[in-house]
Chains A and B, each alone.
Chain A
Amino acid sequence: MKATPEEYDFHLRICARDDPIAFAELADQFYHALLYAVSQRAGAGADSTLIEEAVGQALLDYHDHPLRYDPHLKSLQGYLVMAAYRDFQNAQARENRVRGHQISLSDPDLQERDIAGDDDPARNTFAADEIWRSIDEVFPDADERQIVELIINREHAIEPYAAILHIAHLPEDERRKQVQLVKYRITRRLRRQMKPRLHPNEGELS
């Protein structure tokens, strides 16, 4: 099904690059419908945070590269749902690999080095206040912030994490898996949210 007249109008406005509110209006109009559609495809129990990130990335990718979408072939909503669902599947697959211990702890995806900071004290001091302010915004949940603090302090023992997560009663293997998964997800969110703040020159339009 090709684009609806409304979608086609949005597409022309986005492509023209002369309408400062086109993308905001598009997002306002489609965001919640996209979340719903991707959630339906992902099924009950799917991680809503991953879905929201995937939908956001699909919209922003469309904003960056609108000509990749052909309004004569597919509806814009269908195109965005497909893109977001693909991104969601990839993110979920990565998490499943962590769950199944198929990724080594030395995998770059699990390295906390770029979050924990480098060895330059001047740079660390300069960024510290901004980092903690950003962390408060990105992680409104107090438990999550405690885990972030442990990660940044390079705490490698499982017990402190398990206590925060209230899973200390679980068998060691299961406890370790769950802690590893939570650390991975929080590190990924940290990396995604903090990089634009700490390295504003990155992420230019390609």
Chain B
Amino acid sequence: MSNYRPSLDRLAQLAQARPNLLAGPLKLYQEQEGLDDEQLAARLGCDVEALARLALCARPRPAPHFREDVGRIARYIQADTVQLAMLIRAAETRESLTRNTGASSPTLLAARDHDNAEAADTDDGDGESDV
């Protein structure tokens, strides 16, 4: 009956209810994109084992701290900074839309993702990677 295996994964699961940690929005993004852990890690350019630690990180503060915070998280989990910034923006947008509408239109989400990708490139990051 038991597949008990102590790891940070369980803590990361519990953390999904904490609104100021990344666990919740990351999980929502992963589910809506249909990504498994390996695919999410590949998108971020980090190890799968790093995902639980990413989930336990605090959400980056808004600008002017966003870029600094994302860079710090990226260095911590050894991920690509720009990819991480885009993913966090997209995850938070999806979470916000889901919370406000109770449902998510793929078309609208895709459009918002596009806007956020541009915003991440222009507002908070200039394309350079800290990795």
Residues of A that sit less than 8 Å from B by CB: 17-25, 27-28, 31-32, 35, 48-49, 52-53, 55-57, 59-60, 63-64, 126, 130, 133, 138, 140-141, 143-144, 165, 182, 192-193, 195-197, 200-205
Contacts known (A31-B11, A48-B4, A141-B3); A204 close to B19, Cβ less than 8 A? yes
Could you list 11 further interchain pairs (A-B, Cβ under 8 angstroms) beyond the known A52-B6, A200-B99, A203-B18? A17-B58, A21-B57, A23-B57, A27-B11, A28-B53, A56-B15, A59-B11, A141-B2, A196-B24, A197-B27, A205-B19
B73 at the interface (CB under 8 A from A): yes
Q: How far is the CA of A55 from the CA of B28 in the complex (A)?
A: 24
Residues of B within 8 Å of A, CB-based: how many?
A: 38
Main secondary structure of the interface of A (DSSP, over half): helix
Instruction: Report A77 CB to chain B, min CB distance, Å.
Output: 16
Nearest-neighbour CB distance to chain B for A59, whole angstroms, equals 7
Binary flags per residue of B53-92, CB closer than 8 Å to A gives 1, else 0: 1101111110001000100110010000000000000000
Assess whether A201 is in contact with B99, with CB atoms less than 8 Å apart: yes
Chain B residues, CB < 8 A from A202: 17
Query: Is B129 on the interface with A (CB-CB < 8 A)?
Result: no
Tell me if B17 and A203 are in contact (CB < 8 A).
yes
**Bound Cα distance A31, B15 (Å):** 14
B39: Cβ under 8 A from any A Cβ: no
Which B residues are within 8 Å of any A CB, using their own CB? Answer: 1-4, 6, 8, 10-11, 13-21, 24, 27-28, 31, 53-54, 56-61, 65, 69, 72-73, 76, 95, 98-99, 103
User: Nearest 5 CB-CB pairs, A to B?
Assistant: A196-B17, A24-B56, A203-B17, A56-B14, A20-B58
